[in-house]
Chains A and B, each alone.
Chain A
Amino acid sequence: MDIFLQQIINGLVQGSIYALVALGYTMVYGIMGLINFAHGEVVMIGTLVTITVAGTLLKAGMPVALAGMAGLMAAVLVCMALGWALERVAYRPLRHAPRLTPLITAIGMSIVLQNLAMMLWGRNYMTFPSLLPKVDFELAGANFTAIQIIIVLVSAATMGGLLLLVYRTKLGMAMRATAQNPAVASLMGVNINRVIAAAFVIGSALGALAGVMVGTYYEIAHYQMGFMLGLKAFTAAVLGGIGNLAGAMLGGVLLGLIEALGAGYIGDLTGGFLGSHYQDIFAFVVLIVVLMFKPSGLFGEKTGDRA
């Protein structure tokens, strides 16, 4: 039982990380129907900026809490600027282009960001400074740490905050209007350029937050770390129904749980035929099965013809 509980905790934490990244994807997709393939790279930049800023400040003798906060702030600011620039330079000019065009641009931006990061930070794996004291808990034989609790709480809070933003504020209303029909929204006086830019900036700020969480948890960073993470998170977003905030959260957690429980138990269930080497495909198999029955994800609204 303690092992099962431990696997649930593992899955929940991993899933919350996916969810945090998936929220960034869904935010952009929900409004303009664009897969921002470079979002994983934004997360990576967030982690690396924090390493540089917090690392330098720690070396200069600043207390851990302050250095950590400064690192987070710097990461959020850099990523917001990056998100804004991405939208302005790469995506806005393509709003009327054929729909595969922005996808290729996004892939191109992803390659560019990865290689820029490699030039700036080098190709080696880096250690992330310890920003949180190591506190271990034990519950019925299962171990977990403070950072794990924080990750779960942060993703839940982020989703809550986003829901409030989208359904309770004026900007949120403008976002929903733009998502419904950009042309009509602009006739109603919504500045859709500004709304879309806002979505990118908010999504990227979330990416930075996710980057800091990932860094603090694994204490390791690398210029290629964003790609796989982004892919998994994107899968999570689609699983939950892309464009739906609660769906992204649930999709993320579900994906994390599937992976942990799959890796933990599939071997025993299939008599050793399948094992943890198939961990990466559980997610895709579940995704395909879900989409066969619900073509727009678990909580997705029926998409129109735009996709």
Chain B
Amino acid sequence: MTAPAPVPAPPPAPRVPPTPRVVPAARRAPGIRRQLPTSPWLFAAPGLLIAGGFALYPFVSTLVNSLTDRRVLLPGRFVGLANYRELLHDDMFWTGLRNSVLYVVGVVPALVVLPLLLALLVRRHIPGVAFFRSAFYTPVVASVVVVGLIWVWLLDERGLVNSLLEAAGAGRVGFLSDPWLLLLSAMAVTVWKGLGYYMIIYLAALANVPRELHEAAAVDGAGPVRRFLSVTVPAVRSTMVLVAALSSVAAFKVFSEVYLMAGPSGGPAGEDTTLVMLVQRTGTGLTGRVGYASALSVVVFAVTVALMLLVLRADRREET
């Protein structure tokens, strides 16, 4: 009988480090705490300090001030929600809220659609297109004050636009004296000034749309409009949401255009006052009411957050 061949010993199993057992916090023994290293905090400290000093502190300060009757030069007393109650009965607050909301309604659709169309026009590689890209972008880099003043001159009762209208027999239009026309004129300036900025965002998005999708749609017989609606728009939808969110926040907080065109009093009888103009008017100067202006600022903040959530929710609903 032959001795059985020795069975080779199995190779040693590779040393795999044991999988760490995650112990739920509730089951951890008391006293055993997970210590995070401090170095990440040190790296984050400059950013945290800046955010804390220039964002968190002013925000909390505004919240606290909104509960006081503080003035620019005089200390405040705690007044609870009195400022918020007062603004509910302040006609100018409702005028400001109405105008700011109207601004969003008037400006955002234009700033979502028109820059996309412009981007489609200027993305082609044809001679001289760089000139048009620059031309469309120029208003973005121009000073808003200069732009506002130029439009005031153009739309003045005796300005270029009215002179042309008069020459054409249409008569003068009170762009700067009628409250509604004034608001529309300011919206037009905002749209004109913002087109180039959002056009650049769309150009970047359009560069990522695969050409094959357009070619396939064309082979299937889709015309330019159909391709735009069925290929381009779905492909840049997330960019459209981004533009809608950015422009709605900017539109709700509009100040410069309306201030420059309607004047410090906010147009005839203050009818064109926006919420941010009201904050500025109420809270500045030696007799400024810091408490009340802070309450207005908190409302502006709340509505801005609500707008963002609304846009994101609409986007999510579209996705599902």
State whether these chains interact: no
Interface set of A (CB-CB < 8 Å, partner B): none
